[in-house]
Amino acid sequence: MIARTLLSALLGRVRAGRIELVEPDGRRALGPPDAELQATIHVHDPSFWRSLLRGSRGLGESYAAGAWDCDDLVRLVRIAAREVTRLDRLRAPLASLRNRLTRVPRNSRAGARRHIGAHYDLGNELFALFLDDTMTYSCGIFENGETSLREAQEAKLDLVCRKLELRPDDHLVEIGSGWGSLALHAAGNYGCRVTTATISPAQLELATARVREAGLEDRVDVVLRDYRDLRGRHSKLASIEMIEAVGWQYFDTFFARCSRLLEPDGLMLVQAITIDDAAYEIEKGARSFANELIFPGGCLPSQEVIRHATDRVTDMRILDVEDITASYPQTLRHWRENWLAAAGQAERLGADRRFRRLFELYFAWSEGGFTERRIQDVQVLFAKPAYRGSRVNMERETASKSAAGPREASLASASRPPGPST
Protein backbone atom coordinates (compact mmCIF):
# COMPACT_ATOMS: atom_id res chain seq x y z
CA MET A 1 0.00 0.00 0.00
CA ILE A 2 1.50 3.33 -1.09
CA ALA A 3 -0.06 5.31 1.77
CA ARG A 4 1.40 2.92 4.32
CA THR A 5 4.89 3.11 2.78
CA LEU A 6 4.94 6.90 2.60
CA LEU A 7 3.45 7.47 6.04
CA SER A 8 5.69 4.88 7.66
CA ALA A 9 8.67 6.86 6.37
CA LEU A 10 7.24 10.09 7.79
CA LEU A 11 6.36 8.52 11.13
CA GLY A 12 9.89 7.20 11.31
CA ARG A 13 10.98 10.81 11.92
CA VAL A 14 9.04 11.05 15.20
CA ARG A 15 11.26 12.48 17.95
CA ALA A 16 8.81 13.56 20.68
CA GLY A 17 7.96 10.04 21.83
CA ARG A 18 7.98 6.36 20.92
CA ILE A 19 5.06 4.76 19.08
CA GLU A 20 4.79 1.01 18.60
CA LEU A 21 2.57 -0.07 15.72
CA VAL A 22 1.07 -3.53 15.98
CA GLU A 23 -0.47 -5.00 12.80
CA PRO A 24 -1.60 -8.50 11.85
CA ASP A 25 1.66 -9.04 9.93
CA GLY A 26 3.99 -7.83 12.67
CA ARG A 27 5.04 -4.79 14.67
CA ARG A 28 7.43 -1.88 14.36
CA ALA A 29 8.61 0.82 16.74
CA LEU A 30 9.03 4.47 15.82
CA GLY A 31 10.90 7.09 17.80
CA PRO A 32 13.64 6.98 20.45
CA PRO A 33 13.55 3.82 22.60
CA ASP A 34 14.17 5.83 25.77
CA ALA A 35 11.47 8.42 25.08
CA GLU A 36 9.53 9.79 28.06
CA LEU A 37 6.18 9.26 26.31
CA GLN A 38 5.39 5.86 24.77
CA ALA A 39 2.19 4.49 23.25
CA THR A 40 1.13 1.39 21.35
CA ILE A 41 -1.29 1.52 18.42
CA HIS A 42 -3.08 -1.66 17.37
CA VAL A 43 -4.06 -1.39 13.71
CA HIS A 44 -7.14 -3.50 12.95
CA ASP A 45 -7.84 -2.29 9.42
CA PRO A 46 -5.52 -1.03 6.65
CA SER A 47 -7.85 1.96 6.18
CA PHE A 48 -5.97 3.41 9.17
CA TRP A 49 -3.12 4.36 6.85
CA ARG A 50 -5.34 6.12 4.32
CA SER A 51 -7.06 8.00 7.13
CA LEU A 52 -3.77 9.61 8.14
CA LEU A 53 -3.67 11.40 4.79
CA ARG A 54 -6.69 13.41 6.00
CA GLY A 55 -4.96 14.63 9.13
CA SER A 56 -6.61 14.70 12.55
CA ARG A 57 -10.09 14.45 11.07
CA GLY A 58 -9.19 11.23 9.28
CA LEU A 59 -7.56 9.88 12.41
CA GLY A 60 -10.71 10.63 14.41
CA GLU A 61 -13.02 9.07 11.86
CA SER A 62 -10.93 5.91 11.65
CA TYR A 63 -10.83 5.59 15.46
CA ALA A 64 -14.61 6.01 15.63
CA ALA A 65 -14.93 3.29 12.97
CA GLY A 66 -12.76 0.90 15.02
CA ALA A 67 -9.85 0.80 12.55
CA TRP A 68 -7.34 1.16 15.39
CA ASP A 69 -6.97 1.26 19.16
CA CYS A 70 -4.32 2.59 21.50
CA ASP A 71 -3.20 1.52 24.95
CA ASP A 72 -3.08 5.18 26.08
CA LEU A 73 -4.87 7.74 23.92
CA VAL A 74 -3.81 10.69 26.07
CA ARG A 75 -0.13 9.75 25.79
CA LEU A 76 -0.49 9.39 22.02
CA VAL A 77 -2.05 12.85 21.75
CA ARG A 78 0.72 14.30 23.91
CA ILE A 79 3.31 12.89 21.50
CA ALA A 80 1.40 14.36 18.57
CA ALA A 81 1.13 17.75 20.30
CA ARG A 82 4.88 17.89 20.83
CA GLU A 83 5.55 16.88 17.23
CA VAL A 84 3.13 19.47 15.84
CA THR A 85 4.69 22.22 17.94
CA ARG A 86 8.09 21.24 16.61
CA LEU A 87 6.80 21.46 13.03
CA ASP A 88 4.81 24.71 13.35
CA ARG A 89 7.50 26.78 11.66
CA LEU A 90 7.35 24.55 8.61
CA ARG A 91 3.54 24.53 8.56
CA ALA A 92 3.11 28.31 8.82
CA PRO A 93 3.65 29.26 5.12
CA LEU A 94 1.23 26.58 3.91
CA ALA A 95 -1.32 27.57 6.56
CA SER A 96 -1.25 31.19 5.43
CA LEU A 97 -1.96 30.12 1.84
CA ARG A 98 -4.67 27.70 2.95
CA ASN A 99 -6.43 30.39 5.03
CA ARG A 100 -6.63 32.64 1.97
CA LEU A 101 -7.90 29.96 -0.41
CA THR A 102 -10.06 27.68 1.74
CA ARG A 103 -13.71 28.42 2.34
CA VAL A 104 -14.35 27.84 6.04
CA PRO A 105 -17.74 27.65 7.77
CA ARG A 106 -18.92 31.02 9.07
CA ASN A 107 -20.84 31.54 12.28
CA SER A 108 -23.47 33.90 10.96
CA ARG A 109 -26.69 33.78 12.95
CA ALA A 110 -27.98 30.86 10.86
CA GLY A 111 -24.57 29.17 10.76
CA ALA A 112 -24.09 29.51 14.51
CA ARG A 113 -27.50 27.95 15.22
CA ARG A 114 -26.69 25.07 12.88
CA HIS A 115 -23.21 24.49 14.35
CA ILE A 116 -24.33 24.76 17.98
CA GLY A 117 -27.25 22.45 17.33
CA ALA A 118 -24.92 19.79 15.91
CA HIS A 119 -23.26 19.45 19.32
CA TYR A 120 -25.47 20.81 22.10
CA ASP A 121 -28.78 19.46 20.81
CA LEU A 122 -27.57 15.86 20.87
CA GLY A 123 -29.72 15.33 23.97
CA ASN A 124 -29.60 16.65 27.53
CA GLU A 125 -29.68 13.11 28.92
CA LEU A 126 -26.55 12.24 26.96
CA PHE A 127 -24.55 15.12 28.45
CA ALA A 128 -25.82 14.27 31.92
CA LEU A 129 -24.03 10.91 31.64
CA PHE A 130 -20.59 12.50 31.94
CA LEU A 131 -21.18 15.91 33.58
CA ASP A 132 -21.67 16.37 37.32
CA ASP A 133 -24.99 17.31 38.91
CA THR A 134 -24.44 21.03 38.25
CA MET A 135 -24.43 20.26 34.48
CA THR A 136 -21.38 22.49 34.00
CA TYR A 137 -19.61 21.89 30.67
CA SER A 138 -16.36 23.79 31.19
CA CYS A 139 -13.16 23.56 33.20
CA GLY A 140 -13.55 23.19 36.96
CA ILE A 141 -11.06 24.37 39.60
CA PHE A 142 -9.36 21.46 41.36
CA GLU A 143 -7.57 22.26 44.61
CA ASN A 144 -6.04 18.78 44.82
CA GLY A 145 -6.48 15.19 43.73
CA GLU A 146 -9.21 14.63 46.31
CA THR A 147 -11.49 17.34 44.89
CA SER A 148 -14.61 15.88 43.29
CA LEU A 149 -15.86 17.02 39.89
CA ARG A 150 -18.87 18.71 41.48
CA GLU A 151 -16.70 20.51 44.04
CA ALA A 152 -14.37 21.69 41.27
CA GLN A 153 -17.26 23.05 39.23
CA GLU A 154 -18.86 24.79 42.20
CA ALA A 155 -15.46 26.34 43.02
CA LYS A 156 -15.21 27.67 39.45
CA LEU A 157 -18.74 29.09 39.47
CA ASP A 158 -18.09 30.85 42.77
CA LEU A 159 -14.75 32.19 41.57
CA VAL A 160 -16.48 33.76 38.55
CA CYS A 161 -19.08 35.40 40.81
CA ARG A 162 -16.45 36.74 43.20
CA LYS A 163 -14.30 38.15 40.42
CA LEU A 164 -17.39 39.95 39.09
CA GLU A 165 -18.11 41.26 42.61
CA LEU A 166 -21.73 40.24 42.28
CA ARG A 167 -24.24 41.93 44.59
CA PRO A 168 -28.05 41.77 44.92
CA ASP A 169 -28.43 45.01 42.96
CA ASP A 170 -26.47 43.68 39.95
CA HIS A 171 -27.96 42.58 36.66
CA LEU A 172 -25.70 39.92 35.15
CA VAL A 173 -26.01 39.05 31.47
CA GLU A 174 -24.52 35.70 30.46
CA ILE A 175 -23.63 34.81 26.87
CA GLY A 176 -23.80 31.04 26.57
CA SER A 177 -26.17 29.58 29.18
CA GLY A 178 -25.05 26.00 29.05
CA TRP A 179 -27.63 24.25 31.19
CA GLY A 180 -27.96 27.18 33.58
CA SER A 181 -25.32 26.40 36.21
CA LEU A 182 -23.79 29.89 36.46
CA ALA A 183 -27.17 31.64 36.38
CA LEU A 184 -28.46 29.39 39.17
CA HIS A 185 -25.33 29.89 41.27
CA ALA A 186 -25.22 33.66 40.79
CA ALA A 187 -28.91 34.25 41.51
CA GLY A 188 -29.15 31.66 44.27
CA ASN A 189 -26.00 32.60 46.18
CA TYR A 190 -25.51 36.28 45.36
CA GLY A 191 -29.11 37.42 44.92
CA CYS A 192 -28.57 39.24 41.62
CA ARG A 193 -30.77 39.31 38.54
CA VAL A 194 -29.54 37.21 35.61
CA THR A 195 -30.39 37.20 31.92
CA THR A 196 -28.75 34.20 30.32
CA ALA A 197 -28.77 33.57 26.56
CA THR A 198 -28.38 30.42 24.50
CA ILE A 199 -29.13 29.47 20.90
CA SER A 200 -29.65 25.78 21.75
CA PRO A 201 -33.33 24.82 22.17
CA ALA A 202 -32.30 21.75 24.16
CA GLN A 203 -30.28 23.83 26.61
CA LEU A 204 -33.06 26.40 26.85
CA GLU A 205 -35.57 23.72 27.82
CA LEU A 206 -33.48 22.19 30.60
CA ALA A 207 -32.07 25.48 31.93
CA THR A 208 -35.60 26.93 32.17
CA ALA A 209 -36.81 23.84 34.01
CA ARG A 210 -33.89 24.02 36.47
CA VAL A 211 -34.59 27.70 37.16
CA ARG A 212 -38.24 26.86 37.84
CA GLU A 213 -37.31 23.96 40.12
CA ALA A 214 -34.96 26.23 42.09
CA GLY A 215 -37.72 28.80 42.55
CA LEU A 216 -35.66 31.53 40.87
CA GLU A 217 -38.03 32.59 38.09
CA ASP A 218 -38.22 36.09 39.59
CA ARG A 219 -34.45 36.54 39.24
CA VAL A 220 -33.39 34.49 36.20
CA ASP A 221 -34.53 34.85 32.59
CA VAL A 222 -33.33 32.21 30.13
CA VAL A 223 -33.64 33.47 26.56
CA LEU A 224 -33.14 31.87 23.14
CA ARG A 225 -31.07 34.63 21.56
CA ASP A 226 -27.88 35.13 19.60
CA TYR A 227 -25.34 37.33 21.38
CA ARG A 228 -25.59 39.80 18.49
CA ASP A 229 -29.25 40.35 19.30
CA LEU A 230 -28.86 41.06 23.01
CA ARG A 231 -29.76 44.60 24.04
CA GLY A 232 -29.81 46.79 27.14
CA ARG A 233 -27.19 47.79 29.73
CA HIS A 234 -26.02 45.48 32.48
CA SER A 235 -23.67 45.92 35.40
CA LYS A 236 -21.91 42.60 34.84
CA LEU A 237 -21.33 40.18 31.96
CA ALA A 238 -20.02 36.61 31.92
CA SER A 239 -19.24 34.22 29.09
CA ILE A 240 -17.82 30.83 30.03
CA GLU A 241 -16.11 28.91 27.22
CA MET A 242 -18.50 30.21 24.59
CA ILE A 243 -16.05 32.34 22.61
CA GLU A 244 -14.68 29.19 20.97
CA ALA A 245 -17.95 28.98 19.00
CA VAL A 246 -17.81 32.61 17.79
CA GLY A 247 -15.49 32.03 14.83
CA TRP A 248 -12.39 34.03 13.96
CA GLN A 249 -14.32 36.24 11.53
CA TYR A 250 -16.53 37.47 14.40
CA PHE A 251 -14.20 38.04 17.36
CA ASP A 252 -14.40 41.84 16.92
CA THR A 253 -18.19 41.60 16.65
CA PHE A 254 -18.36 39.59 19.87
CA PHE A 255 -16.26 41.96 21.95
CA ALA A 256 -17.95 45.06 20.54
CA ARG A 257 -21.36 43.67 21.49
CA CYS A 258 -20.14 42.73 24.97
CA SER A 259 -18.83 46.26 25.52
CA ARG A 260 -22.14 47.81 24.45
CA LEU A 261 -24.05 45.56 26.86
CA LEU A 262 -22.18 46.91 29.89
CA GLU A 263 -22.79 49.95 32.06
CA PRO A 264 -19.99 52.57 32.07
CA ASP A 265 -18.57 51.02 35.27
CA GLY A 266 -19.32 47.40 34.34
CA LEU A 267 -17.20 44.27 34.66
CA MET A 268 -16.96 41.34 32.26
CA LEU A 269 -15.40 37.92 32.75
CA VAL A 270 -14.63 35.66 29.81
CA GLN A 271 -13.37 32.13 30.37
CA ALA A 272 -11.76 31.06 27.13
CA ILE A 273 -9.98 28.04 25.73
CA THR A 274 -7.08 29.56 23.84
CA ILE A 275 -4.34 28.37 21.54
CA ASP A 276 -0.74 29.47 21.71
CA ASP A 277 -0.20 32.84 20.02
CA ALA A 278 2.36 31.38 17.61
CA ALA A 279 -0.05 28.64 16.47
CA TYR A 280 -3.19 30.75 16.01
CA GLU A 281 -2.75 31.59 12.31
CA ILE A 282 -1.65 28.01 11.61
CA GLU A 283 -4.72 26.45 13.19
CA LYS A 284 -7.55 28.97 12.76
CA GLY A 285 -8.58 27.80 9.28
CA ALA A 286 -7.64 24.13 9.67
CA ARG A 287 -10.26 21.45 9.04
CA SER A 288 -9.52 19.37 12.12
CA PHE A 289 -10.95 16.56 14.20
CA ALA A 290 -12.28 19.07 16.75
CA ASN A 291 -13.93 21.62 14.48
CA GLU A 292 -15.27 19.14 11.95
CA LEU A 293 -16.45 16.20 14.05
CA ILE A 294 -17.07 17.65 17.51
CA PHE A 295 -17.58 21.44 17.40
CA PRO A 296 -18.45 22.44 13.82
CA GLY A 297 -17.35 25.98 13.03
CA GLY A 298 -15.24 26.24 16.18
CA CYS A 299 -12.07 28.31 16.44
CA LEU A 300 -9.83 28.90 19.44
CA PRO A 301 -8.63 32.48 19.90
CA SER A 302 -5.17 33.22 21.23
CA GLN A 303 -4.60 35.56 24.14
CA GLU A 304 -3.06 38.05 21.74
CA VAL A 305 -6.18 37.93 19.57
CA ILE A 306 -8.34 38.67 22.62
CA ARG A 307 -6.17 41.62 23.61
CA HIS A 308 -6.09 43.08 20.10
CA ALA A 309 -9.86 42.72 19.64
CA THR A 310 -10.45 44.44 22.97
CA ASP A 311 -8.14 47.29 21.96
CA ARG A 312 -9.70 47.70 18.52
CA VAL A 313 -13.41 47.72 19.20
CA THR A 314 -14.03 48.41 22.91
CA ASP A 315 -13.23 50.92 25.62
CA MET A 316 -12.55 48.13 28.13
CA ARG A 317 -9.27 47.38 29.82
CA ILE A 318 -7.99 44.03 31.05
CA LEU A 319 -7.75 43.91 34.84
CA ASP A 320 -6.68 40.35 35.42
CA VAL A 321 -5.78 37.14 33.58
CA GLU A 322 -5.75 33.83 35.43
CA ASP A 323 -4.52 30.66 33.78
CA ILE A 324 -6.56 27.66 34.99
CA THR A 325 -5.18 25.19 32.44
CA ALA A 326 -3.80 22.85 35.11
CA SER A 327 -7.36 21.91 36.14
CA TYR A 328 -8.57 20.93 32.68
CA PRO A 329 -6.84 17.54 32.39
CA GLN A 330 -8.52 16.48 35.65
CA THR A 331 -11.89 17.79 34.46
CA LEU A 332 -11.58 15.88 31.20
CA ARG A 333 -10.38 12.73 32.94
CA HIS A 334 -13.55 12.74 35.04
CA TRP A 335 -15.70 13.27 31.95
CA ARG A 336 -14.00 10.46 30.04
CA GLU A 337 -14.24 8.02 32.95
CA ASN A 338 -17.93 8.87 33.42
CA TRP A 339 -18.55 8.46 29.69
CA LEU A 340 -16.90 5.05 29.50
CA ALA A 341 -18.71 3.86 32.63
CA ALA A 342 -22.07 4.91 31.13
CA ALA A 343 -21.61 3.15 27.77
CA GLY A 344 -24.71 1.01 28.23
CA GLN A 345 -26.90 3.99 29.11
CA ALA A 346 -25.48 5.97 26.19
CA GLU A 347 -26.36 3.14 23.82
CA ARG A 348 -29.93 3.04 25.14
CA LEU A 349 -30.14 6.79 24.46
CA GLY A 350 -29.18 6.18 20.83
CA ALA A 351 -25.40 6.70 20.94
CA ASP A 352 -23.99 3.90 18.79
CA ARG A 353 -20.48 2.49 19.10
CA ARG A 354 -19.07 4.93 16.55
CA PHE A 355 -20.45 7.94 18.45
CA ARG A 356 -19.23 6.64 21.81
CA ARG A 357 -15.71 6.11 20.48
CA LEU A 358 -15.75 9.57 18.89
CA PHE A 359 -16.46 11.22 22.25
CA GLU A 360 -13.94 9.00 24.02
CA LEU A 361 -11.27 10.25 21.63
CA TYR A 362 -12.50 13.85 22.00
CA PHE A 363 -12.01 13.75 25.78
CA ALA A 364 -8.55 12.14 25.44
CA TRP A 365 -7.59 14.52 22.62
CA SER A 366 -8.46 17.54 24.74
CA GLU A 367 -6.75 16.17 27.85
CA GLY A 368 -3.53 15.60 25.94
CA GLY A 369 -3.68 19.07 24.39
CA PHE A 370 -4.13 20.79 27.76
CA THR A 371 -1.48 18.63 29.44
CA GLU A 372 1.07 19.71 26.82
CA ARG A 373 -0.32 23.28 26.88
CA ARG A 374 -0.88 23.27 23.14
CA ILE A 375 -4.18 24.75 24.29
CA GLN A 376 -4.86 26.66 27.50
CA ASP A 377 -7.83 27.84 29.55
CA VAL A 378 -7.86 31.37 30.97
CA GLN A 379 -10.24 33.64 32.84
CA VAL A 380 -9.92 37.23 31.65
CA LEU A 381 -11.49 40.03 33.68
CA PHE A 382 -12.34 43.25 31.81
CA ALA A 383 -13.52 46.63 33.11
CA LYS A 384 -15.28 49.61 31.55
CA PRO A 385 -13.73 53.08 31.98
CA ALA A 386 -15.76 54.21 35.01
CA TYR A 387 -14.94 51.11 37.05
CA ARG A 388 -12.79 52.07 40.02
CA GLY A 389 -12.32 48.67 41.59
CA SER A 390 -12.93 47.18 44.97
CA ARG A 391 -10.24 46.30 47.47
CA VAL A 392 -10.76 42.63 46.60
CA ASN A 393 -10.02 43.05 42.91
CA MET A 394 -7.16 45.49 43.45
CA GLU A 395 -5.50 42.97 45.74
CA ARG A 396 -6.23 40.19 43.25
CA GLU A 397 -4.73 42.19 40.38
CA THR A 398 -1.53 42.85 42.34
CA ALA A 399 -1.18 39.20 43.34
CA SER A 400 -1.95 37.97 39.83
CA LYS A 401 0.65 40.18 38.15
CA SER A 402 3.36 39.25 40.62
CA ALA A 403 2.65 35.53 40.24
CA ALA A 404 1.85 35.48 36.50
CA GLY A 405 4.19 33.99 33.93
CA PRO A 406 5.41 36.13 31.03
CA ARG A 407 2.37 35.41 28.84
CA GLU A 408 -0.27 36.28 31.44
CA ALA A 409 1.57 39.39 32.63
CA SER A 410 2.17 40.67 29.12
CA LEU A 411 -1.47 40.31 28.14
CA ALA A 412 -2.61 42.30 31.17
CA SER A 413 0.05 44.99 30.99
CA ALA A 414 -0.20 45.44 27.21
CA SER A 415 -3.86 46.42 27.38
CA ARG A 416 -4.11 50.11 26.57
CA PRO A 417 -5.76 52.68 28.87
CA PRO A 418 -9.47 53.16 28.16
CA GLY A 419 -10.27 55.41 25.23
CA PRO A 420 -13.42 56.47 23.40
CA SER A 421 -16.03 53.75 22.91
CA THR A 422 -16.47 52.55 19.33
Q: CA-CA distances (angstroms) from residue 124 to 99, 120, 206?
A: 35, 8, 7
Three-point CA angle 318, 320, 325, nearest 5°: 120
Per the prediction, the chain carries an average pLDDT of 88
pTM here?
Answer: 0.88
Of 265, 64, 52, 271, whose CA–CA distance to 171 is shortest? 265
Q: How far is CA 59 from the centre of its chain?
A: 20
Determine which of 86-90, 116-120, 249-253 has the lowest per-residue pLDDT on average: 86-90
Q: At residue 408, does pLDDT exceed 80?
A: no
- Distance (Å, rounded) from C-alpha 377 to C-alpha 306? 13
What average pLDDT does the segment 339-365 reach?
96
Instruction: Indicate the pairing of strand 262-275 with strand 317-323.
Output: unpaired
Higher-confidence position of 296 and 342: 342
H helix runs in 216-372, sequence order: 251-261, 280-283, 289, 303-313, 328-341, 343-348, 353-371
- Distance (Å, rounded) from C-alpha 73 to C-alpha 284? 24
Query: Helices 201-213 and 181-190: crossing angle, nearest 10°?
Result: 30
Q: Which domains are delineated in the chain?
A: 2-101 (3.30.1050), 109-414 (3.40.50.150)
Query: Helices 353-371 and 73-101: crossing angle, nearest 10°?
Result: 90
Structure confidence by residue, pLDDT tens digits, 377-394: 999 999 999 999 864 454
| Band (7; pLDDT cuts 50, 70, 90) | low
Q: What is the pLDDT of residue 84?
A: 87
Percent of the chain with pLDDT over 90: 71
Of 420, 400, 410, 397, whose CA–CA distance to 302 is shortest? 410
Q: At residue 88, does pLDDT exceed 80?
A: no
The residues, any chain, with a CB within 8 Å of residue 240's CB and separated by 6 or more, are: 138, 160, 174, 176, 178, 182, 270, 271
Structure confidence by residue, pLDDT tens digits, 298-344: 899 999 999 999 999 999 999 999 999 999 999 999 999 999 999 99
Structure confidence by residue, pLDDT tens digits, 130-179: 999 999 999 999 999 899 999 999 999 999 999 999 999 999 999 999 99
Q: At residue 252, does pLDDT exceed 50?
A: yes
